[in-house]
Chain A
Amino acid sequence: MPDHLKKIAEAVKNGDEKLTVQAVGEALKAKIAAAEILGRGLVPGIQALGQLFKDGQAYLPEILVSARAMRSGTEKLQPHLAASDVKKKGTVVIGTVEGDMHDIGKNLVKMMLESNGYDVHDLGVDVSADAFAAEAKATKANIVATSALLTTTMTIIPAIAKALETVGVRRKVKIMIGGAPITRQFADEIGVEGYADDCASAVDEADRLMKLAA
């Protein structure tokens, strides 16, 4: 059994979509539980890649192909997963701030959060503070994650905190930010809880925020 799971993890880490799907199929044939395949095969694979990225040994192309392999492996697994098998770590509402159309970083963070067990609601680009707040309330989100590429659009982020306050969920929802001009210092200055440098550390930061909320 460990060989099947190891093979899946390796395939995801290496971004080999075809091999991932094939290995998931083999594991299912070997009667390994779907939850086991997910938790001890697919997820460790993407986590290993995330670690390589943080260590400077993997780059964005590797993140993209690994996330794609993970997604295809999960799709193959989906019919065999019971709802109780997929324990979501938390719910994240994600989007770029109003006035900002640059979504590559946001898409990468979304991919990594989903691959690491988060339920992610993607509002896309140019998202108003009110839209973030409404979705966070509707989905009972734990985290609102947003990014800004420009110094001009990063100034809009505090409005999201205000909008969450207005709809009465600010105390329940942590805010996590990132993007080219964003720093931890800026996050501290505007009073938001989370900051991530890149898509791999965004997962660590989301995990940290979930513990803070617990």
Chain B
Amino acid sequence: MNTRERFLATMKFEEPDRHLVWEFGYWGGTVRRWYREGLPRVRGLCDDIGEGTGLFNEYAGIPRNRDTSLDIHHYFKMDPYLVRVPLNIGAYPPFESKVIEDHGEWYIWQEWDGSLRKEIKNRSTLPTIMGGPVKDRESWERYKAERLRPSLKGRLPDNWSQLVKEYKKRDYPLGLGQTHGFFGTPRYLMGVEELLTKYYDDPDMMRDINNYLADFWIALYDGVLREVEVDTVFIWEDMCYKGGPLISPAMFREFILPGYKKLTSFLRDHGITLVQVDSDGDVWKLIPLWVEGGVTVLYPFEVAAGMDVVEVRKAFPRLAISGGIDKRAVAEGRAAIDRELEYRVPFMLESGGYIPTIDHMVSMDVSFENFKYYREKLNQILKKHSKSWDRD
């Protein structure tokens, strides 16, 4: 089997020849630490990648297509990346990236998607989204007319026809979707606090946003699927924290679920059954709703927020899973790594539909030595539970 076949067999609960060797991703600060601790620097990192920049273990495409975790990928001989079609499913034309307010130590800047982000200067941390271009119905109508036109024009790279040719002979899985979702995207459009109150203040507008996004993404995906066969679709939400969902399941059912149903129905009609949702935090209460909405894969199952993939698997036996290995255990050391892997991984591999990775970006408190030990130990388990192993 090649990586694409292995991915499809794994996620569809069939039996792959062997399990996949993948990770979720790494913070920029983690990679810089590992360079200092012995990771061979072949490609290095771009200077503008900060400590808090996420480096995914895949080619994500938009807005910047940079193969930034390649040194780790090569050192640990990981399987070929999953590739996401570099289709912009957000604002087009993009907003100008610019500083809006300069407060000395920190500043507010406008990102290409129109969101306003607050960030500390000269220190790399995660920016916080504090607002966006949509304030009310009028600005929403303007935004969708100007930035969310359901046309592929300008949303695919210039070398698209070349990429289509490459995709047709690929041996890696191909995905659609970027960091957008039925909750995730409205958060960029208006900021979290504004979004959370808008469900009460203007429910009609929130229903319209949900419905429009579903139709908009269907139109874009339809255009791509006419040219390329895609293996999986990603939806990004990050709509939970350690206390549970940011909105109630009832509110999810009313405002979010209809978009899921519409989109996944379209995808199934086009033969795509692997629909993945990315959400951190305690997602327990939303899993049944996602499943009802046609989602078949969830990740990354943050252990610190109380998620346990073993328990999730018992409750939802046909939900495919990736992630779920506690990053804190990998930071702690060998004994904790052994305990963590022995508890979760064999059971999950035996029950199928599982790609083991750390439960989010590998954090900066994980030493290179610990990560090496974790990968060696994990690979031993993967080998033991695979029909064949071609990697020694």
Contact = CB atoms under 8 A, between A and B. Distances in A.
Contacts of B363: 151-152
A107 B196 CA distance: 13
Given A59-B245, A101-B119, A125-B118, A149 B196 contact: no
A102 B244 CA distance: 18
B392 interface: no
A65 B200 contact: yes
Given A61-B199, A107-B193, A198-B243, A101 B248 contact: no
B270 interface: no
Contacts of B200: 15, 61, 65
B244 A126 contact: no
Interface in A28-72: 56, 58-62, 64-65, 68
B139 interface: no
Pick the most buried of B29, B118, B125, B363: most chain A CB atoms within 10 A of its CB.
B125
A99 B197 contact: no
A64 B106 contact: no
Interface in B101-126: 105-106, 118-120, 123, 125-126
Contacts of B365: 151-152
B251 A59 contact: yes
Interface residues of A, number: 29
A65 B200 CA distance: 8
The 7 nearest A-B residue pairs measured at CB: A61-B196, A59-B248, A101-B128, A198-B243, A102-B128, A65-B200, A101-B118
A64 B248 CA distance: 13
A59 B365 CA distance: 32
A64 B246 contact: no
B106 A102 contact: no
A190 interface: no
A180 interface: yes
Given A59-B247, A153-B125, A181-B304, A101 B199 contact: no
A167 interface: no
Interface string B4-35: 00000000000000000000000001000000
Given A64-B197, A125-B118, A152-B364, A102 B245 contact: no
Interface in A144-196: 149-153, 180-181
A126 B196 contact: no
B120 A101 contact: yes
A180 B327 CA distance: 14
Pick the most buried of A59, A68, A125, A181: most chain B CB atoms within 10 A of its CB.
A59
Would you call the interface of chain A mostly helix, strand, loop, or mixed? Answer: loop
18 contacts: A56-B244, A59-B247, A59-B248, A59-B251, A61-B200, A64-B197, A99-B120, A101-B106, A101-B128, A102-B128, A104-B128, A149-B126, A150-B125, A150-B126, A151-B364, A152-B51, A180-B242, A197-B242
A130 interface: no
Interface residues of B, number: 33
Contacts of B246: 59-61
Interface in B227-257: 241-248, 251
Given A59-B247, A180-B241, A65 B127 contact: no
B238 to A, nearest CB: 12
Interface string A127-154: 0000000000000000000000111110
Given A180-B242, A180-B304, 12 more contacts: A56-B244, A61-B248, A64-B193, A100-B125, A101-B119, A101-B120, A101-B125, A105-B241, A152-B29, A180-B305, A181-B304, A197-B242
B197 A68 contact: yes
Contacts of A56: 244
A64 B196 contact: yes
Interface string A1-24: 000000000000001000000000
Contacts of A101: 106, 118-120, 125-128
A149 to B, nearest CB: 7
A122 interface: no
Contacts of A125: 106, 118, 128
B61 to A, nearest CB: 27
A103 interface: yes
A101 B127 CA distance: 7
Interface string A106-130: 0100000000000000000110000
B126 A126 contact: no
B82 interface: no
Contacts of A152: 29, 51, 125, 363-365
Contacts of B320: none
Pick the most buried of A149, A151, A152: most chain B CB atoms within 10 A of its CB.
A152
A151 B302 CA distance: 14
A68 B200 CA distance: 12
Interface in A86-107: 99-105, 107
Contact of B126 (A61, A102, A198): A102
B241 to A, nearest CB: 6
B187 to A, nearest CB: 11
Contacts of A58: 248
Nearest to B302: A180
Nearest to B27: A152
B329 interface: no
A194 to B, nearest CB: 17
Contact of B106 (A60, A126, A149, A153): A126
Pick the most buried of B196, B246, B364: most chain A CB atoms within 10 A of its CB.
B196
B7 to A, nearest CB: 30
